[in-house]
Amino acid sequence: MAATGFVHHPACLEHDPGPGHPERSQRVKALLERVHASGLAGELDVREARLAREDELVRVHPPQYVRAIEDACRRAPSVLDGDTTVSRGSWNAALAAAGGVLEACERVMAGEWANAFCATRPPGHHAERDVAMGFCLFNNVAVAAAALRTVHGVERIAILDWDVHHGNGTQHLFERDPGVFYASLHQWPFYPGTGAASERGIGPGEGTTRNCPMPAGAGDAEWLGALERVILPELEAFAPGFVLVSAGFDAHHLDPLASTELTTGAYREMTTRLSELALDSAQGRLVSVLEGGYHLGAIADCAEVHLAALRDAAR
């Protein structure tokens, strides 16, 4: 069986949003240290991400927006919105974050990998078509979905976003597209204010958006219950040819930015169930990309069980 891929790039550690910012390089450092200390690194195919090209980014972001991000990084430090700041190292980090998920999808489509996880930053799911927000510059998972459609000819793509914050950017980029099913589990009401259960898509995309907003204090029973009862049946009916995961680990009970009570084990269970869906519908093809997660111990714990479940699914 093909291996599980693990994608990273040193440039992702050079993105610096400023002192005291929760989206700091130590998040990925803690994750990397755990992958090596646990022995998982020896069971994965570890690769350095390639950098995304402009022609790949402009499938979802206008050229003028891409140039504006590059210019802001060149003039850094630059504040793009109230909580999104870039440094000189942010440009290559953003290209590596988008390029990492592109490379992972390419290797999975080629049959070299069964599945993969991208340990990259900055995150992406809040980035709108032409707006940087919520710590995000380019919408990495959307860039990957667009490439899967246009380059690899995948007709139906499922995106599951289990970050504790709703992925407004990803939903808005695909809410009119019947070929991309966006599903989200997230705390509600909460930043960024989108993600109501009534948001089901627009026009030809109606029915291919499914939000499962969860109240503060919800834990494993509520999140896993919604996954089993609501999201998985709809994704199974959609029958995706590829599964993408916006893997935020900030719904963990230790995370400082949210009030959701997931245990580490919930992330293993969600990964296992989604891997089963991918195996049944998409020949096992699944790529996940790091989004949020701001407690260093929790992000390391969750990434470890997530990767172990992906490894097991690839066997």
- 158-216: pLDDT as tens digits: 999 999 999 999 999 999 999 999 999 999 999 999 999 999 999 999 999 999 999 99
- 26-37: pLDDT as tens digits: 999 999 999 999
pLDDT band at 252 (very low <50, low <70, confident <90, very high): very high
Residue 306 identity (one-letter amino acid): H
pLDDT band at 86 (very low <50, low <70, confident <90, very high): very high
| Of 315 and 217, the one with more pLDDT | 217
Neighbours of 83 (CB within 10 A): 16
Check: CB of residue 94 under 8 Å from CB of residue 139.
no
Q: Where are the alpha helices (DSSP H) in 110-214?
A: 140-150, 168-174
Across all residues in the chain, what is the average pLDDT? 98
Residue 78 and residue 60: Cα distance in Å, rounded? Answer: 23
Class of domain 3-314: alpha beta
Picking from 288, 226, 296, the residue whose alpha carbon sits closest to that of residue 255 is: 296
- Which pLDDT belongs to residue 1? 55
Picking from 292, 307, 289, 310, the residue whose alpha carbon sits closest to that of residue 140 is: 289
User: Per mean pLDDT, which range of 1-10, 86-95, 132-141, 243-252 is the poorest?
Assistant: 1-10
Task: Say which DSSP state 133 is in.
Answer: B
- 18-59: pLDDT as tens digits: 999 999 999 999 999 999 999 999 999 999 999 999 999 999
pLDDT band at 274 (very low <50, low <70, confident <90, very high): very high
Neighbours of 311 (CB within 10 A): 18
Angle of CA points 154, 155, 156, to nearest 5°: 100
Helix (H, G, I), strand (E, B) or coil at 70: helix
Residue 172 bears catalytic tag: no
Burial annotation 10-35 (CB, 10 A radius, 16+ → b, else e):
ebbbbbbbeeeebbbbebbebbbebb
Strands 84-86 and 78-81: antiparallel
Residue 91 and residue 6: Cα distance in Å, rounded? Answer: 22
Question: Per-residue pLDDT averaged across 67-87, rounded?
Answer: 97
Question: Per-residue pLDDT averaged across 124-150, rounded?
Answer: 98
- Which pLDDT belongs to residue 2? 82
The beta-strand segments (E) located in the chain are 3-8, 45-48, 78-81, 84-86, 113-118, 157-161, 180-187, 209-214, 242-247, 286-290
- 293-313: pLDDT as tens digits: 999 999 999 999 999 999 999
Residue 288 and residue 197: Cα distance in Å, rounded? Answer: 24
Could you tell me the pTM of the whole model?
A: 0.98
Residues 9, 15, 61, 126: which is the catalytic one?
126
- Domain chopping of the chain, boundaries: 3-314
Check: CB of residue 193 under 8 Å from CB of residue 186.
no
Question: Per-residue pLDDT averaged across 104-122, rounded?
Answer: 98
Helix (H, G, I), strand (E, B) or coil at 59: coil
